[in-house]
Chains A and B, each alone.
Chain A
């Protein structure tokens, strides 16, 4: 991210340098506000999705950090006038920001249209009828329950701006250095219970349908990047990456159900069923991390990898999400972010740059 920021900074210097070479004394520097508005565009593809599948504990840490702040903010019994004003300032800013968010993708366009209408309506309603004095943020958040996910997440993003000072440093919790471990001492019966409890969503899936096993994930020879193939139309499914989590869970469940020694340890079970180590380790580790597993069949015909990409990119501060298919998207990074000189200029508000809009 630092590199991206530096590229943005370099681009400003480069443009101004070229202008000076060409225009000499007549050259002008980029307008300060316009400069700030420039973000860095990026096209991001399927690689992001395998990353999330391969780093379940990390995914959990990211979501947990967000959820912890949100829960804290929703529990503010009262807020000050300045906090109230700040909320409305951010909501208006967000409202303007989404009005400048136009994409070609039909699904996303539709979502943005709904988002615009909902946020505009929420802003009007909250202006007319002020939130109550007690738990105002919870009141506002509850108002989004029947709105689209886009609106819910936008309001959540505004609310986490109110993280109290004692949450400074929570970004350190975004890392998760714990190695996934096999808990060999866990009894077979305990493992079965965890599957029932945490993977009930998998047990409800009908994986016998052809459509539930349409895709396979692989690494391409040409670009060494993850790709998605159709196993009924393309070659190479024998080399697929192990992302068919629901199927592995169902297969393991069957083996465990038939296994007569429920009081044996998982380690003993693995001596007889060595191929099950991958999914057992995953199940054992994700049981400690409730936000770690993507609850979807990633090889199903209806799987939309783009949603996973967006989730990950959101944690990098990406905005202006612009899907170009269900497998890759354009995004904007650092739009509205400070320019390097501001860090030493004494401007204390340089980091207040969420929901930037085109300067007048």
Chain B
């Protein structure tokens, strides 16, 4: 089924909130999934799988040593967002070392959206310092199931903002069952109306139907 970018953003954001993910992270994750969807990737399915496999949604503490963060698992819904914030902050060159990137597609989308807002390019290299991925707002997404090994993530600041290439954008369709799953999650954030609330809503108590 075809849904709009905004619908994807809203449903994912609400699904995150229902999973007790911080509201502000939910906002960024919603935008990242919508971005994937716009880049012809099934972001919704990826997100559904991520919340399914991530049993505990608790924040994973991060070890900080001067200009390096070390984290065993990098997970978009558990720790990736403050890590990205930290990576792009300040003047000093920083890096992140991790042994596993859970849901690389969503993580890369978070990086691409960050590049769109803050400029620069992210580079992910292995222990031999070979660059594996260069990610900015024009990153060509492709299906990656998991990334295990030793990864170093860095951000290369650029004063020049990269113009997003919108010409090729194609909105990916969403599987009906995935949409229903996320809608059910979102539904859990809604509250049954009380009579008091209903009676104070717009138009309440009027019979002239205007």
Contact = CB atoms under 8 A, between A and B. Distances in A.
The range of chain A's interface size is: 35 or more
B206 A324 contact: yes
Interface in B17-66: 22-25, 59, 62, 64
B193 A227 contact: yes
Interface in A163-181: 179, 181
Nearest to A48: B202
Interface of A: 41, 43-46, 179, 181-185, 218-225, 227-230, 233-236, 239, 242, 265-268, 270-271, 274-275, 277-278, 281, 324-325, 327-328, 330
Contacts of A281: 24
A270 B191 CA distance: 30
Given A242-B23, A327-B200, A328-B201, A268 B194 contact: no
B194 A221 contact: no
Given A184-B90, A267-B89, A221 B191 contact: yes
B197 A227 contact: yes
A185 B193 CA distance: 43
Interface string B183-207: 0000101111110111011111110
B59 A229 contact: no
B202 A328 contact: yes
Nearest to B22: A275
Interface of B: 22-25, 59, 62, 64, 69, 79, 81-83, 85-86, 88-91, 117-118, 187, 189-194, 196-198, 200-206, 210
Given A270-B82, A271-B64, A275-B22, A221 B202 contact: no
Contacts, number: 123
A221 B187 contact: yes
B200 A325 contact: yes
Given A228-B197, A278-B24, A325-B200, A239 B189 contact: yes
Given A220-B193, A236-B191, A239-B191, A268 B202 contact: no
B86 A229 contact: no
A265 B191 CA distance: 38
Considering residues B59, B193, B204, B206, which has the most beta carbons from chain A within 10 angstroms of its beta carbon? B193
Given A43-B202, A44-B202, A278-B24, A182 B190 contact: no
A41 B81 contact: no
Given A43-B210, A236-B191, A265-B90, A328 B203 contact: yes
Nearest to A230: B196
B205 A324 contact: yes
B117 to A, nearest CB: 5
Contacts of A181: 117-118
Tell me the interface secondary structure of chain B in the complex: loop
B110 to A, nearest CB: 13
Nearest to A234: B194
Contacts of A270: 82, 85-86
B10 to A, nearest CB: 10
Contacts of A46: 201-202
A228 B194 CA distance: 10
A218 B190 contact: yes
B166 to A, nearest CB: 14
Contact of A185 (B24, B59, B82, B89): B89
Nearest to A238: B191
Contacts of B206: 43, 324
Given A45-B202, A227-B201, A234-B197, A184 B89 contact: yes
A41 B187 CA distance: 32
Contacts of B88: 184, 267
Given A275-B22, A278-B24, A265 B193 contact: no
A220 B191 contact: yes
A46 B86 CA distance: 37
B201 A45 contact: yes
Given A221-B187, A324-B205, A327-B201, A274 B82 contact: yes
Contacts of A235: 191-192, 194
Contacts of B23: 242, 278
